[in-house]
Amino acid sequence: MKENLKLAWRNLLRNKRRTMITSASIFFAVFFALILRSFQIGTNNAIIYGVIESFSGFIQIQGVDYFDVPVLDNSIPFNSEIENKILSNHNVNLVVPRIQTYGLASSGEKTKNAIIIGINPEKEIQVNNYNNQLVKIRISSEKLVEAENKKIFPKEIIEKLRAIENNSYSNSENIINDISLSENEQNRYLSEIEFFFSYSGKTFSQNDNSVIIADNLSKFLGIDVGDSLIILSQGYQGVSAVGIFPVKGIIKPIIPELDNSLVYMTLKNAQQLFSLYEVSDKNQDTIFLVSYLSLGVNNKKDDILISTVNEINSDLDSNIYNAVYWKDFNNELLQLTKGDNIAGIILLILLYLVIGFGIFGTVLMMTSERKREFGVMIAVGMQKTRLKIIIIIEMIIIALMGIFGGIFVSIPVILIGSNFPIRLGGDFAIMMEDYNLEPVLPMAWFDTYYINQAIVILIIVIISTLYPIYKIGKLKVINALKT
């Protein structure tokens, strides 16, 4: 084996140009496969993690029966003692209590089903910045008529604004895109549009006796900031829940389904409305209840999160509380992540096909060039089996040179891409910001995908090596020497 290795190495050095060409094809294959996969995983993870953090959380603490039957009767007790116990876990940095149920939202003669969420405003802002989704601009019909009559804007701007009549916006960037304002029009009229069509909605504090409702829901019910909203629902243990609340703000949720039904109220109001409290038999203390707790975490790796879930479950009363990993309670998002991963793998397979044909073409060229060489070696007494082994060793050496070279060169690129991701602009950036996501294209840090790409490329090289082995087996020395 040692002699075969020496012969293979000498063959590679004897024709350095051919060796470098073959190795370079493998080098670029590994490099581009790693960069592409790093972008795929990094971007998908950024989007998925952003969605999870903004809504469900990576870990939820629920009642033991809430997972199967998510109703108010399966709510859990929550106080500062429970919060401190959860925060004592090294991987938990935030505990966000929520009350979530369904009911009817009504105003005048109109009624619509609604999802009602009780929140702690200060903590909720740390999670999803819902205050940035408040409607700040509304292009109402009345305002458009007033602007036209008073000739506040030129005719061409009025016509553009009519295209977005009755639309609501949380920022002016979306208006720019929707009506295609030129740079000159932006400089001249955007600030005036913001001022003239400004909307007065605000967020609330913990002690506010008011609600924030979704934009489309407010339009359906025909209510505005300052009007009253009637909520009819069922509270804890079958108690009737009916309340009238002033509307303090209108929100434009990033999920279209919520835009037709979402109602935010403070956690305190929700506990009172739905009678979410119990009296302790021991000392007659009032215990307030919540639907679930969403946890903010420091480390988002799957194994660390699973370990955190197990630690929390061991610290809390298992008869009351149950910590749940996001992949267990957020099946829709899990399926979406699998779909994105499959799409990424399909794209990678297409790249592998291109890479494979490139490597095979290089091997084909090398085999054709060395046909006479193979014939001479066999003619002087080398067995075909040994020659095949030498060729395999040569290809493995070339493959390892290309693979390690591709890995080595990709390391600084991925380091820079993960720490200083590409920042997006234009419509795509605005769309991502609307979804509470940072408009960047990050690259994934080193993980198992690194080894996987190297293994796949090595397999492609080994498969390509079958061709010269086949040609050696079928080689006729007389014909080879004539070439």
pLDDT digits (tens, 9 = 90+) for 257-298: 788 999 999 999 999 999 998 655 555 567 789 999 999 888
Confidence of residue 393 (pLDDT cuts 50, 70, 90): confident
| 474-to-384, 471, 478 alpha-carbon distances in Å | 10, 5, 12
Q: What distance in Å separates the CA atoms of residue 408 and residue 445, rounded to the nearest whole number?
A: 14
368 in the same domain as 320: no
Is residue 18 situated within a structural domain?
Answer: yes
Is residue 186 situated within a structural domain?
Answer: no
Confidence of residue 310 (pLDDT cuts 50, 70, 90): very high
Given a cut of 90, whether residue 244 has pLDDT beyond it is yes
Asked whether the beta carbons of 93 and 296 are under 8 A apart, the reply is yes
Mean pLDDT: which of 274-278, 345-349, 378-382 is highest?
A: 274-278
441 in the same domain as 364: yes
User: Which residue is associated with the tokens 């008011």?
Assistant: 210
Domain count, the chain: 2
Compute the average pLDDT of residues 317-331: 86
| 432-to-149, 246, 326, 337, 446 alpha-carbon distances in Å | 37, 32, 22, 17, 25
Q: Which of 297, 329, 361 is the last residue of a domain?
A: 329
> Which residue type is seen at 289?
L
Beta-carbon contacts of 253 under 8 Å, excluding residues fewer than 6 positions away, are 133, 214, 215, 259, 262
User: pLDDT value at position 439?
Assistant: 67
Q: How many C-beta atoms lie closer than 10 Å to residue 471's C-beta?
A: 17
Write out pLDDT tens, residues 428-478: 666 666 655 666 777 777 777 777 777 887 888 888 888 888 777 777 767
Q: What distance in Å separates the CA atoms of residue 51 and residue 340, rounded to the nearest whole number?
A: 14
307 in the same domain as 443: no
Mean pLDDT of the chain: 83
Domain, as residue range, for 102: 57-135+199-329
Q: Which residues of 262-274 are buried (b: 16+ CB within 10 A; e: fewer)?
A: bbbbbbebbbbbb
113 in the same domain as 241: yes
What tokens were used for 323? 């910590």
pTM of the model: 0.72
404 in the same domain as 308: no
Is residue 176 situated within a structural domain?
Answer: no
61 in the same domain as 15: no
User: Is 353 in a helix, a strand, or coil?
Assistant: helix
Q: Which of 281, 298, 329 is the last residue of a domain?
A: 329
397 in the same domain as 258: no
Compute the average pLDDT of residues 385-396: 80
Confidence of residue 480 (pLDDT cuts 50, 70, 90): low
| 51-to-67, 254, 260, 362 alpha-carbon distances in Å | 20, 10, 20, 45
Segments of 72-208 assigned E as strands: 76-77, 92-107, 110-119, 137-138, 168-169
Asked whether the beta carbons of 231 and 245 are under 8 A apart, the reply is yes
210 in the same domain as 94: yes
338 in the same domain as 323: no
